[in-house]
Structures are given as C-alpha cells and as structure tokens.
Chains A and B, each alone.
Chain A
Amino acid sequence: EPEVTQTPSHQVTQMGQEVILRCVPISNHLYFYWYRQILGQKVEFLVSFYNNEISEKSEIFDDQFSVERPDGSNFTLKIRSTKLEDSAMYFCASSAFESFGANVLTFGAGSRLTVL
C-alpha cells in the first residue's frame, strides 16, 4: 500500500539551529501538508501546499518556517532558528483530492523534533 515516508524519525537539535524535515508524499497525490503535535496535545495544522505554492497556513506557521518541493518527490519543512517550543512531532500528509468528500489525509509516521 502506498505510504508517506518521513525522515528523520527523530532529531535532536540545539536552540537556534536550523532543521529540515523531509517527506516523500504518495506519488500521485497533489496536496501536501505539515501538521504538528506537541507531546500530549492535539494535532495542529501548519501549512498546505498545492501546485508548488502554499495554499493555506496557520498562525503557527510564522516566518521561521518554510516549505518547498525541491524536486518531483520530496516535500520539506524548514525551521530556520529553532526554539524550545518547537519541540513536537511533525507529521507530513498528502491527499489526492479526488473529490471534496474523499479527500482523506494519509499521514507519515512523523518526525520527532527535540530542541535543547
């Protein structure tokens, strides 16, 4: 079964360092997303991406965050200068959007970011 793959599974970084989280969405999917889950809390929307541009972003997604699709397969989330509160599980997701109703998000296994 097709899946969304994320790397790394766990990254530990020092505060102020740049981090890049990588995702390979399902190949025929058109919409890509990043969500975040702080330990023990709900999953929160960060950003959606379609046709090589951001289609929507939340208030969490400030200037320290950026996304890009550098080639035909990878979708990356960059955090420029990490803060302690960026420690969370980051989920990549993709969807095919065959129709509004069938737009199921398929999530990756997540990348756990720990900022020290």
Chain B
Amino acid sequence: AQKITQTQPGMFVQEKEAVTLDCTYDTSDPSYGLFWYKQPSSGEMIFLIYQGSYDQQNATEGRYSLNFQKARKSANLVISASQLGDSAMYFCAMREPLNFNKFYFGSGTKLNVKP
C-alpha cells in the first residue's frame, strides 16, 4: 500500500486566490511526522511545513497552513494568496518512528499559478 497518496497530478489557481493540495497517508503507528516540500523548476527541494501526529493545532508557516485531519488520515496543504512564484511541484512526505531516517514521498502535485 502507498504510504503517501497525492491524487492531484496538476492544479491551476488564479493569482491571489487560495489553493488546497491534497495528501492522504497510511500508517498504523500513532506517532509520525508529516511534511510538505516545494520543488521549483530549478529542481531543489524546499521544506515548507511540518505537522506532528500529536500536535493539537494545525501547523502554519506564513502563507502555508496544514489542514490536519487525523481521523481521515489527511494532511492537506493550503496556500493562501497564491503568487506566481508558488508555481512548482509540491510533495507531501511522512516519517514513521520505526524508520525515522526514511521519508516516504508522494508522487507530487504540479501547481500552476495563473496571472
């Protein structure tokens, strides 16, 4: 079974609007970490936001927030006030304590921000 599923291969959003990128995960461990990374066309992987499984509050970092729904095993990334520079691939990732060195990545969502 896939550990991380991103069902949206591509998304379009109008500049200045909000967009939600979906991520669901699969684990039987009660303790895990969820991450979002951005990959611009230049190729580097940029860390955006982290959510721990025991965190009571949804994580926020500037324009990024994580809509964490533990019962549904979803960790959607919300980008508010989209900018042209947000156009990139976005990867959801998870780490479990059994293999804390190993991140499982989803297949990614390509976001295009339209002017």
Contacts and interface: CB of A to CB of B under 8 A. Distances in A.
In which size bucket is the chain B interface?
20 to 34
Given A42-B108, A101-B33, A103-B33, A33 B43 contact: no
A109 interface: yes
Q: Which of B33, B43, B46, B106 has the most chain A CB atoms closer than 10 A to its own CB?
A: B43
A107 B42 CA distance: 13
A106 B43 contact: no
A103 to B, nearest CB: 7
B105 A43 contact: yes
A18 interface: no
A56 B101 contact: yes
A68 interface: no
Interface residues of A, number: 29
Given A33-B101, A103-B100, A42 B106 contact: yes
Contacts of B47: 104-107
B97 interface: yes
B105 A107 contact: no
Interface in A68-116: 89, 91, 93, 97, 100-110, 112
B90 to A, nearest CB: 12
5 contacts: A42-B106, A43-B45, A56-B101, A93-B45, A107-B46
Interface of A: 31, 33, 35, 41-45, 48, 50, 55-56, 58, 89, 91, 93, 97, 100-110, 112
